[in-house]
Amino acid sequence: MSLRQINRQKKRAAILAAAKTLVAESHWQNTTMREIAKAAQVSYQTLYNYFPSKADIVRALIIDTYMGPEEPILTIIKNYRGDLLASINEINAERFRLIRATDPEWLFLLASYFAPSRDGNQSGAHVMELVDQSGDSYYYQLLRQAQGVGQLQADVDIQLMAHTLYCIANSAGERLVFAEANIGALQNVLAQQSAQLVAPYLIDAG
96 shares a domain with 9: no
Kindly report, residue by residue over 8-58, the tens digit of the pLDDT: 888 998 999 999 888 877 777 788 999 999 999 999 999 999 999 988 898
> Does an H or E element contain 193, and which?
helix 183-198
Position with higher pLDDT, 77 vs 174:
77
Nearest-angstrom CA–CA distance, 68 and 90: 12
Nearest-angstrom CA–CA distance, 133 and 127: 13
102 shares a domain with 38: no
Question: Measuring CA to CA, how many Å separate 6 from each of 12, 56, 126?
Answer: 10, 21, 33
CB atoms within 10 A of CB 48: 14
Nearest-angstrom CA–CA distance, 138 and 180: 27
81 shares a domain with 15: no
Q: pTM value?
A: 0.71
Number of domain units in the chain: 2
**Which range marks the domain in which residue 3 is found?**
1-52
Q: What is the mean pLDDT of the chain?
A: 84
